[in-house]
Amino acid sequence: MLQQPSSTVLSVTPDSLVRSLCWAYCLVRNHSFIDGNKRVAFLAMVEMAGRNEAIWNESADEPDGDDTVEMMRAAAVGTIDEATFVRWVKTRVI
């Protein structure tokens, strides 16, 4: 059975959009699947944004998505913390 890793942001925010987007960080950090953890986490993040009436919007500075790839990789290996990930996600959803 999968358990959500401890989450500092989830425990202190009442914002349902942020709470749902934190699951992407938890998914990518938990390494739940043999392969595709970053892809699944990203798609879950985009889906949850949509369910919370938000839209995922790539930065105009990064039209090819390189920034997104780097942030998902950084989250996967733990070089960024959850709060940093959430701040970055907030710049991408409208």
pLDDT by 10s per residue, the chain, length 94: 445 555 555 444 567 777 777 888 888 988 888 899 999 999 988 888 888 888 888 776 766 778 888 999 999 999 999 889 988 888 888 8
Cα separation, 13 vs 56, in Å, equals 20
For the whole prediction, is pTM greater than 0.85? no
Query: What phi-psi label fits residue 36: left (phi over 0), alpha (psi between -120 and 50 degrees) or beta?
Result: left
Looking at this protein, which amino acid is placed at residue 57? N
* CA quadruple 67, 5, 93, 43: dihedral sign: positive
pLDDT at 84: 93
DSSP 3-33: -PPP-HHHHH---HHHHHHHHHHHHHHHT-S
